[in-house]
Amino acid sequence: MADTMLQIKDLHVNYGGICAVQGVNLSIERGSIVTLVGANGAGKSSIIRSIAGLNREVKGDILFSRKHGDAPESILGLRPENMVRRGISLSPEGRRILPHLTVEENLSLGAYSRNDREGIEEDREKVYTLFPRLRERSWQKGGTLSGGEQQMLAVGRALMSRPDLIMLDEPSLGLAPLLVKEIFGIITRIHETGVTVLLVEQNAYAALNVADYAYILEVGRIALEGTGKELLSNPQVRSAYLGG
């Protein structure tokens, strides 16, 4: 039987009078990498922000079961500061690291919801192992990092809450091809530690390559879904998103 961690039922999101999401159903299996792919304005970010509690005008339902065996609970309407305590962490679009705080402080902020000192130290060590460059720059202000380093910091910060579900909004945006490859390598490594990943991407090729399951969004609706491999070989997808 399938072990569903997150299930979205008939989600509608209004965003400044516009229906950004119109009746989306999707589910995320525990331990998988799921990706939402689509053009700008297709509603990817609106979905991910609704899960994180950042959108107000949301209809439908979002059910979440944190650990294997937990009964699914509705998390729609919870505040963002409570989501992270329930094991859902978001690395937002545009990185949104705090430029005036040091790398170390940015990571501490990521662990704000926790009080287990040793556990936090352990996770900080894990993040520094995953991103050695952050360790080198730990006393530097976030704003002085390069774009790639800032993205690593944003992902590292999202890991500091020790999430069960990590959501990454456009982690490859604006990065050089080599860095994109590095980021996707890291997403795979995070997934291997047992964290479920929801990935929003415009870079459809890279995203479909790492994803167990994928949804393709077009103007607020799911146009196609399937395993990453299926969609990669789908001619429709190839012509629309993968450049032929």
Partner 1 sequence: MSLEMFFQHCFNALTLGSLYALIAIGYTMVYGVLRLINFAHGDILMVGAYFVFFGTFAFGWPWGVSAIVAVAGASLLGVLVERVAYRPLREAPRISALISAIAVSFFIESLAVVVFTGQPRPVLQPDWLISEWQLGNIRVLKLTAFVPVMTAVLVAGLLYILYRTKPGLAMRAISKDIETTRLMGVRVDNIIAFTFAVGSALAAASGIMWALRYPQVHPYMGIMPGLKAFVAAVVGGIGSVQGAVIGGVILGFVEIMSIAFFPELSGYRDAFAFIILVLVLVFKPTGLLGEDLKEKI
Q: Kindly list the residues in this chain that would bind partner 1 in the complex (CB under 8 A).
A: 52, 54, 79-85, 90, 92, 96, 98-101, 105, 108-110, 112-113, 157, 161
33 vs 83 by CB, closer to partner 1: 83
**Distance, CA of 94 to CA of 154 (rounded, Å):** 9
Contacts of 56 (CB under 8 A, 6+ apart): none
Spatial strand order of the sheet with 58-64 comes to 18-29, 4-15, 58-64, 73-74
| Residue 64, beta-bridge partner list | 6, 73
User: Given the complex with partner 1, which of 93 and 230 has the nearer CB atom?
Assistant: 93
CB of 157 to partner 1, least distance (A): 7
Place of tokens 């997403």: 187
Residue closer to partner 1 (CB basis): 87 or 220: 87
Q: Which residues contact 233 (CB under 8 A, 6 or more apart)?
A: none
Of 217, 151, 193, which Cα lies nearest the Cα of 33? 193
| CB nearer to partner 1: pick between 98 and 173 | 98
Tokens, residue 67: 């650990």
Rounded to the nearest 5°, which phi and psi values hold at 238?
A: -60, -45
CB of 111 to partner 1, least distance (A): 8
Report the nearest approach of partner 1 to the CB of residue 40 (Å).
Answer: 16
Supply the minimum distance, in Å, between the C-beta of residue 104 and partner 1: 10
CB of 56 to partner 1, least distance (A): 10
| Tokens coding 69 | 């065996």
Nearer to partner 1 (CB atom), residue 111 or residue 240: 111
Question: What is the per-residue burial (b if ≥16 Cβ within 10 Å, else e) of 163-177?
Answer: bbbbbbbbbbbebee
Instruction: Indicate the residue among 110 and 228 with the shorter CB distance to partner 1.
Output: 110
The least distance separating partner 1 from the CB of residue 5, rounded to whole angstroms, comes to 19
